[in-house]
Amino acid sequence: MHSGATAERELPSASARADPPVIECRPVALWLLACCAMLFALIVVGGVTRLTHSGLSMVEWQPLIGVVPPLNQDQWLEVFAKYQETPEFRQVNFDMGLEEFKGIFWWEYVHRLLGRLMGLAFLLPYVVFLLRGRLRGTLAWKLAGVFALGALQGAMGWYMVKSGLVDDPRVSHYRLTAHLGLAFLIYAPMLWIALDLLLPARNAPFAPVLARLSLIVVVLVFATAITGGLVAGTRAGLAYNTFPLMNGALVPPQILMLEPLYVNFFDNIATVQFDHRLLAWLLVFLVPWFWWRSVNAELVPRARLACHLLLAGLALQLALGIATLLLRVPLALAAAHQAGAVLLFTASLFAAHALRRD
């Protein structure tokens, strides 16, 4: 009886820790969630841009004047003439006409435009919230760091495109993977901070094993997405289009054929796809076990929902991945698979956040 009374007296001090109050935080949280939605769209459009081989259609990086697309025939001819000087046109698309060029140009243009719009959608509200005192202390600095990552992402995008404008008409898969990884590293803190603001600390049962497992799941989902970037960059998805074996082998014999040994993990399409599959298999065993443990644990409804969503997200992503592989990377399925990676990452972050120690 005495311990219950003590717990009741401690509850107000726990709620008092929310600074600023939840009602003040909600607009900031909703803004961050809107930015997450924009970044999700940006990642999906970026995937379509890559899949349609549109990424090298804009050969200049013009952060300001590049917002305006070609508006008349002369401007289109000028932009097309610049593309005709690239290795991609000379070696791959030498028979492409202006109308076909417009088709790939618009995907890259929309991708870059979305990136610029997201930069503004983040920066302008950030300044307004800062001036109104909604962002204080470490929160302001954390979000400033997110904006810095966004600026770095813009530079990385051009650095990636530039790699395909020199000799080889393909962007560096190292730079493409870094570009994708940065997008996930921007997404994660925005979502986590939004959840912190919307779902402040409360006294609740704590399951330490599940909390640790949830963080492992986050890392594995991120690593799987990164290896997916390498699969996309090396076009490894167009090889070994069988499942569960890789052309009849559990481990393909070509897996370590390059020298030095470490190069295989980045440049050998057999190894790159094997690594992606291996991480997916680890998730296949870990996530259902994690979910099963959560069913038998004392959890708040939010945490239980997060565990259910994680299992469902994994099932969806596995189905999309297998279908994409077996059908040799059709555009719609491949784009959905990239979207599924973000959704699974979101579910893993939500679970880790819901299971954290308050």
- CA-nearest of 88, 115, 118, 119 to 104 is 88
- 131 and 233 share a domain? no
What is the model's pLDDT at position 168?
Answer: 85
- 314 and 168 share a domain? no
pLDDT tens for 117-133 read 999 999 999 999 999 98
| pLDDT exceeds cutoff 70 at 268 | yes
- Taken as a whole, the chain contains a residue count of 358
Give the domain extent around 341: 203-358
Return the structure tokens found at 140: 């302001």
What is the model's pLDDT at position 160?
Answer: 95
Last residue of a domain, one of 200, 232, 252: 200
What is the model's pLDDT at position 61?
Answer: 86
What is the model's pLDDT at position 202?
Answer: 64
Mean pLDDT confidence for 155-168: 92
Q: What is the DSSP string of 154-202?
A: HHHHHHHHHTTSSSSSS--HHHHHHHHHHHHHHHHHHHHHHHHHHS---
Question: What residues contact residue 179 under an 8 Å CB cut-off, 6+ apart?
Answer: 46, 153, 156, 157, 160, 229
Please indicate, yes or no, if residue 219 is contained in any of the structural domains.
yes
pLDDT tens for 192-210 read 999 999 987 665 667 889 9
pLDDT tens for 15-62 read 344 444 445 688 999 999 999 999 999 999 999 999 999 999 999 888
Mean pLDDT confidence for 148-153: 96
What is the model's pLDDT at position 6?
Answer: 38
Number of compact structural domains in the chain? 2
Please indicate, yes or no, if residue 100 is contained in any of the structural domains.
yes
Please indicate, yes or no, if residue 57 is contained in any of the structural domains.
yes
What is the model's pLDDT at position 204?
Answer: 62
Whole-number average pLDDT of the chain? 90
Last residue of a domain, one of 178, 200, 222: 200
Please indicate, yes or no, if residue 10 is contained in any of the structural domains.
no
What is the model's pLDDT at position 201?
Answer: 63
- 192 and 212 share a domain? no
Please indicate, yes or no, if residue 13 is contained in any of the structural domains.
no
Which of 88-92, 116-120, 271-275, 354-358 shows the lowest per-residue confidence on average (mean pLDDT)? 354-358
What is the model's pLDDT at position 13?
Answer: 39
Please indicate, yes or no, if residue 181 is contained in any of the structural domains.
yes
pLDDT interval class at 12 (50, 70, 90): very low
Please indicate, yes or no, if residue 226 is contained in any of the structural domains.
yes
- CA-nearest of 211, 167, 180, 246 to 355 is 211
pLDDT tens for 61-96 read 887 767 899 999 999 999 999 999 999 999 999 999
- CA-nearest of 94, 189, 198 to 150 is 189
- 28 and 161 share a domain? yes
Mean pLDDT confidence for 291-301: 91
Integer distance in angstroms from the first to the last C-alpha of the chain? 24
Please indicate, yes or no, if residue 247 is contained in any of the structural domains.
yes
DSSP SS3 for 329: coil
- 325 and 218 share a domain? yes
What is the model's pLDDT at position 1?
Answer: 41
- 171 and 214 share a domain? no
Residue with the two structure tokens 């760091």: 145
Give the separation between CA 311 and CA 350, rounded to whole angstroms.
12
Last residue of a domain, one of 200, 216, 243: 200
- State the pTM of this model: 0.90
φ, ψ for residue 102, nearest 5 deg: -60, -35
Q: Where are the alpha helices (DSSP H) in the chain?
A: 2-15, 22-51, 73-83, 87-91, 98-131, 137-162, 173-198, 208-234, 264-267, 269-295, 301-326, 331-354
- pLDDT above 90 covers a percentage of the chain that reads 82
Interaxial angle between packed helices 331-354 and 173-198, expressed in degrees from 0 to 180 and rounded to the nearest 10: 40
- CB distance 288 to 311 below 8 Å: yes
- 344 and 222 share a domain? yes
